Amino acid sequence: MRAAVVGGGLAGIAAALELADAGAEVTLHEARPRLGGATFSIERDGLVMDNGQHVFLRCCTAYVGLLERLGVADRVHLQRRLDIPVLAPGGKRGRISRSALPAPFHLAGTLARFRFLSPGERAAVARGALALRRLDLDDPSLDERTFADWLREHGQSESAIERFWDLIVLPTVNLRSRDASLALATKVFQTGLLERADAADVGWAAIPLGELHGEAAERALAAAGVDVRLRAPVASLDELDADAVVLAVPHVEAADLLPDGEPLTGLGLAPIVNLHVVYDRQITDLPLAAGIDTPVQFVFDRTESSGLGSGQYLAVSISAAFEYGRMKVDELRTAFMPRLEELFPAARGARIESFFVTREPQATFRQAPGTARLRRPTAPDGVFVAGAWTDTGWPATMEGAVRSGLAAARAALGVSALEEEVAA
């Protein structure tokens, strides 16, 4: 079987390895000069920095499996237990963490102590979580309304939506609860927090993503016998000489390559903006933190992985960054540096050695109500579509990307085996 994979992101890498491991003759076409897709690294001022802060959870078993296949599963940090410090201006602190109790009781302690909600709001959140746990993910009506509408119907105050539910929905669905599909938010909470006690333990790369994904994939694909062609854009699927094609590109590109791809443009786009700040000294000992009552959403310490010899490098990730996407670098610096000082008082006496911005205007599709049907594109015979935007049952995440690549490859292999059986 000859197979062509179009796209060298996580979906394409997973698909190519799955096909090659099954004995297929695989060619991978990637338009860029590197592998890794939306996860990559850049070099600036002698430091290696990622384009954005990408994280995974312990429940992301397909992604972890890919890391193992690439031989880099030991090059990530994975929390022993979920623990996210939560900071607010004025020095108020809390945390989202879990105990060793079985789900959903593993979160009872942290919810009882969550200082940013009133006792009544905390009780309402607990009731809402239990109701959320009972929703049926196979119910298509969940994709017809927003998460916030459902939360309000189940007794959640606007403060609780903003201070608790958005804290989790925003980085995982890349939209606030008021805009996010109830179906996708339900998936996040059920799989990530409510079904297994250890599911939401947070992991992130201990080395630059360019090494973790791109370079490791190059080695693994070469060892598997995959013909990797970089700087090789595909203008039409007709130019590919293969028995099966896995199309693993963003939905905006798939819309142009698929004969009936125009509806995919309805998926829209949601941006992420990342601020990279290098201080002349250490301003926090936290490896990561979330912000409340501030535009600072999540902050990660990337000092060690960047190769910085002294000082501290913090990466600030801003999801659903619609209002920040077109702001100039100086405007973002003016808007966010005082906010970081409110959360990390030690920053007030520190000198900023470097500040720059990376923007991902097409970070994900807009994961709003009504998008589920658009995640199931029509493809010609022999073409199997992959990508985090496809119908994986997950939001647009690294886990979804890997799952989609594996599913597309297995579908292609199944069709090939069936054709061979018929021919025999």
Q: According to the model, what pLDDT value does residue 325 have?
A: 86
Mind listing the domains of the chain with CATH numbers? 2-38+212-268+368-423 (3.50.50.60), 99-194 (1.10.405)
Q: According to the model, what pLDDT value does residue 418 have?
A: 46
Q: According to the model, what pLDDT value does residue 423 have?
A: 44
Q: According to the model, what pLDDT value does residue 424 have?
A: 42
Distance CA 423, CA 369 (A): 44
Q: According to the model, what pLDDT value does residue 44 have?
A: 87
Q: According to the model, what pLDDT value does residue 45 have?
A: 82
Distance CA 352, CA 332 (A): 14
User: pTM for the complete prediction?
Assistant: 0.95
Output the CA angle 10-390-420, nearest 5 degrees. Answer: 80
Q: According to the model, what pLDDT value does residue 177 have?
A: 98
Q: According to the model, what pLDDT value does residue 417 have?
A: 57
Burial class (CB in 10 A: 0-12, 13-18, 19+), 140: exposed
What are the structure tokens assigned to 234, written together?
Answer: 């595909």
Give Cα separations from 65 to 17, 18, 40, 76, 95 (angstroms). 12, 12, 19, 13, 29
Comparing CA positions, the residue from 343, 40, 25 lying closest to residue 216 is 40
Q: According to the model, what pLDDT value does residue 362 have?
A: 96
Q: According to the model, what pLDDT value does residue 415 have?
A: 67
Q: According to the model, what pLDDT value does residue 127 have?
A: 97
Q: According to the model, what pLDDT value does residue 422 have?
A: 41
Q: According to the model, what pLDDT value does residue 416 have?
A: 57
The whole-number mean pLDDT for each consecutive block of 10 residues of the chain, a chain of 424 residues, reads 98 98 98 97 90 96 98 98 97 95 95 95 97 97 98 98 98 98 98 96 97 98 98 97 97 97 97 97 98 97 93 97 94 98 96 96 97 96 98 98 98 72 44
Residue 364 phi, psi (nearest 5)? -145, 170
